[in-house]
Amino acid sequence: MSVTALPNATLLSAYEAMTPGSAALAAQARDVLPSGVAHDSRHFDPYPIYIDHAAGPVKWDVDGNRYVDYFGGHGALLLGHNHPVVMRAVQEALQRGTHFGACHELEIRWAEAIRRMVPSAERVRFTSSGTEATLMALRLARACTGRSKLVRFRGHFHGWHDHMTSGHASHFDGTPTSGVLGGISDNVLLCDPNDVEGISRLFHDHRDIAAVILEPTGANFGKMPILPSFLSVLRDLTRQAGTILIFDEVVTGFRVSPGGMQQEVGVMPDMTTLAKIAAGGLPGGAVAGRKDILDWLDFKATKEAGQERIYHPGTFNANPVTAAAAVATLDIIEKTDACARANAYGTEVRRRMNDVLVEEAVKWAVFGSYSGIHIYTNPDGADIDPHHFDAAAFIPQMMSKPRGEGVTGKVRMGLLVNGVDMNSGPSGTISAMHGEEEMTTTVDAFRATVRALKREGAIN
Ligand SMILES: Cc1ncc(COP(=O)(O)O)c(C=O)c1O
């Protein structure tokens, strides 16, 4: 079913008509899960779709509707859903056991692959998620520098632990978010992205900065772009100050290139946090970086150095099933053009979606870098040329209007009704399995959405 099939239907009535099964499940979910969801970005008004199964670049909901998928497992699935080689590796691992509570060979192969591919990785410690990876990286930085302050950039996401909540989607003044101690947020300094003067001032004013952490293509996978020259500025400043530079490559790692953003720009961080693709699309994460820093986790090295070792258990660290998926996934990424294919699709789909905006005379922009798609719905009515949108110049506007607000939810609904699933940014990540058929569906869905929103008076 689509808006084109029901020309008089509103997007909402078309959505409700095609998703009765999702509506029923959402009603049950609200009774047991806060907001009926398990992840904030799955929250959607009036209710989210419930997925039944997926394959390659597409997925099907419980009502049998088919969607081109740009959630991609929250960015974890560069190889698409159910890649046969990855699935085989997982099935073989499952036969042998889901958890040994012991060392196993695949964790070595997994760490070796990360070290071969990520230029700055000398040692690797596995965690169970990206949140745990940034938590550990920041603790390592504080331990090895003996300093307390952390610098982060407004809008950047590093998971949901206490040290990284203020300044992501709210509390841009650094005050603590609900449930977080002021003593923790007091030790986190916020800076605007690409603000050379601001970061220089922080280093001038504070001698106790343990670490600077950032998403190296910018917040939300390049939605608020970081200029590559800014990465070099950060490298110079942190080196001079003896501060640890952490690239959070949870999204960009093994996606923008086999060696992540650090390989792309040739700027080497001291530590890198990884998850998503790094864990083969299954639950898992890792901290990779300089040996002397990760030695703070090492029994012998800390004993010899007279240091108090950082304690690090974790029931699912380097889980054998995840390890199997990760080794298979990284092998394909290392040996094929998977990253390049997803990136090329990104360039082309953004171009064609912008053609739609030009044809429809809508002053929005579809932008992004590598295999990311973002739609700027221009809430302030700026004079935008879709094909030449300078997203870095619009970071303050994006920061002041959290995603999912305004027309963005309607864009998402329009795309869903027309067979495409993006998040409420609206943003999406592309897999190496997206091809011409998915591109055509996406561009047609975007055109139908824009026209439907015009009919509904949501855009003019
Ligand atoms: C850049 C970045 N860092 C950290 C995280 C947290 O990872 P996880 O969801 O595995 O805890 C995410 C998750 O989306 C992320 O995008």
Q: What is the pLDDT of residue 162?
A: 98
Q: What is the pLDDT of residue 406?
A: 78
Q: Answer yes or no: do 109 and 16 share one domain.
A: no
Q: How far is ligand 1, taken at its centre, from the CA of residue 188, in Å? A: 18
Question: Contact at 8 Å (CB) between 230 and 378?
Answer: no
Whole-angstrom Cα distance, residue 375 to residue 373? 7
Per-residue pLDDT averaged across 46-62, rounded? 98
275 in ligand 1 pocket by Cβ < 6 Å? Answer: yes
131 in ligand 1 pocket by Cβ < 6 Å? Answer: yes
Q: Is 333 helix (H, G, I), strand (E, B) or coil?
A: helix
Q: What is the pLDDT of residue 19?
A: 98
Q: Answer yes or no: do 242 and 178 share one domain.
A: yes
The proportion of the chain whose per-residue pLDDT surpasses 90, expressed as a percent, equals 95
Q: What is the pLDDT of residue 403?
A: 59
Six-digit token pair at 312? 């690090």
Q: What digits encode the pLDDT tens for the residues 408-436?
A: 999 999 999 999 999 989 999 999 999 99
Q: Answer yes or no: do 252 and 348 share one domain.
A: no
Six-digit token pair at 92? 């073989």
Q: Answer yes or no: do 117 and 245 share one domain.
A: yes
Q: Answer yes or no: do 409 and 377 share one domain.
A: yes
* pTM of the entire predicted model: 0.97
Q: What is the pLDDT of residue 400?
A: 83
CA-closest candidate to residue 431, choices 336, 361, 365: 336
Whole-angstrom Cα distance, residue 12 to residue 413? 7
In a domain, 52, yes or no: yes
Q: Answer yes or no: do 192 and 307 share one domain.
A: yes
Q: What is the pLDDT of residue 448?
A: 98
Whole-angstrom Cα distance, residue 108 to residue 63? 43
Q: Answer yes or no: do 378 and 309 share one domain.
A: no
Q: What is the pLDDT of residue 1?
A: 46
Q: Answer yes or no: do 391 and 317 share one domain.
A: no
Question: Contact at 8 Å (CB) between 39 and 28?
Answer: no
Place of tokens 């003593």: 183
Q: Is 150 helix (H, G, I), strand (E, B) or coil?
A: strand
In a domain, 4, yes or no: no
Q: What is the pLDDT of residue 9?
A: 74
In a domain, 5, yes or no: no
For residue 196, the number of C-alpha atoms closer than 13 Å in the C-beta half-sphere is 9
In a domain, 317, yes or no: yes
215 in ligand 1 pocket by Cβ < 6 Å? Answer: yes
Q: What is the pLDDT of residue 405?
A: 67
Whole-angstrom Cα distance, residue 143 to residue 162? 17
Q: What digits encode the pLDDT tens for the residues 134-172?
A: 999 999 999 999 999 999 999 999 999 999 999 999 999
Kindly report the average pLDDT of the chain as a whole number: 96
| CA quadruple 366, 368, 374, 376: dihedral sign | negative
Per-residue pLDDT averaged across 356-374, rounded? 98
The residues, ordered by sequence, that sit 6+ positions from 328 with a Cβ below 8 Å of its Cβ are: 83, 85, 86, 88, 89, 90, 280
Q: Answer yes or no: do 294 and 347 share one domain.
A: no
Task: Look at residue 17 and tell me whether its pLDDT is greater than 80.
Answer: yes
The residues, ordered by sequence, that sit 6+ positions from 420 with a Cβ below 8 Å of its Cβ are: 67, 68, 70, 441, 442, 445, 446
Q: Answer yes or no: do 132 and 159 share one domain.
A: yes
Whether residue 84 is preceded by a cis peptide bond, meaning omega within 30 degrees of 0, is no
For residue 278, give the H/E element and its range: none
65 in ligand 1 pocket by Cβ < 6 Å? Answer: no
Q: How far is ligand 1, taken at its centre, from the CA of residue 300, in Å? A: 31
Question: Contact at 8 Å (CB) between 409 and 388?
Answer: no
In a domain, 65, yes or no: yes
Of 335, 355, 379, the domain-final residue = 335
In a domain, 391, yes or no: yes
Q: Answer yes or no: do 147 and 257 share one domain.
A: yes
Of 335, 355, 372, the domain-final residue = 335
Of 310, 335, 360, the domain-final residue = 335
For residue 166, give the H/E element and its range: none
Pick from 261-265, 279-283, 370-374, 379-383: least confident: 379-383
Per-residue pLDDT averaged across 104-127, rounded? 98
CATH code: domain of residue 166: 3.40.640.10
CB 206: neighbour CB atoms within 10 A? 15
Q: What is the pLDDT of residue 404?
A: 58
Strand partners, 41: none
Q: What is the pLDDT of residue 159?
A: 98
Question: Contact at 8 Å (CB) between 317 and 127?
Answer: yes
The residues, ordered by sequence, that sit 6+ positions from 219 with a Cβ below 8 Å of its Cβ are: 153, 154, 155, 156, 157, 193
Q: What digits encode the pLDDT tens for the residues 304-314?
A: 999 999 999 99
- In degrees rounded to 5, what are phi and psi of residue 317? -60, 130
Q: Is 360 helix (H, G, I), strand (E, B) or coil?
A: coil
Nearest CA owner, ligand 1 atom 8: 130
CATH code: domain of residue 405: 3.90.1150.10
285 in ligand 1 pocket by Cβ < 6 Å? Answer: yes
250 in ligand 1 pocket by Cβ < 6 Å? Answer: yes
For residue 16, give the H/E element and its range: helix 11-18
Six-digit token pair at 379? 């809430």
134 in ligand 1 pocket by Cβ < 6 Å? Answer: yes
How far apart, in Å, are the Cα atoms of 247 and each of 24, 120, 253, 268, 287?
A: 42, 10, 10, 9, 10
Q: Best substitution site from 251, 254, 271, 277 to test ligand 1's pocket, by max atoms within 8 Å of Cβ? A: 251
Whole-angstrom Cα distance, residue 263 to residue 33? 41
pLDDT class of 5 with cuts at 50, 70, 90: very low
Task: Look at residue 94 and tell me whether its pLDDT is greater than 60.
Answer: yes
Question: Contact at 8 Å (CB) between 86 and 431?
Answer: no
Q: What digits encode the pLDDT tens for the residues 207-245?
A: 999 999 999 999 999 999 999 999 999 999 999 999 999
- Structurally, how many domains does the chain consist of? 2
368 in ligand 1 pocket by Cβ < 6 Å? Answer: no
In a domain, 25, yes or no: yes
β-pairing, 224-225 vs 427-429, is unpaired
Whole-angstrom Cα distance, residue 338 to residue 30? 39
Per-residue pLDDT averaged across 267-271, rounded? 98
130 in ligand 1 pocket by Cβ < 6 Å? Answer: yes
Q: How far is ligand 1, taken at its centre, from the CA of residue 74, in Å? A: 9
Q: Which domain holds residue 30?
A: 11-81+338-455
Q: What is the CA radius of gyration of the chain?
A: 22
Six-digit token pair at 313? 């258990």
Whole-angstrom Cα distance, residue 156 to residue 167? 8
pLDDT class of 8 with cuts at 50, 70, 90: low
Strand partners, 218: 225
Q: Answer yes or no: do 76 and 134 share one domain.
A: no
The proportion of the chain whose per-residue pLDDT surpasses 70, expressed as a percent, equals 97
In a domain, 6, yes or no: no
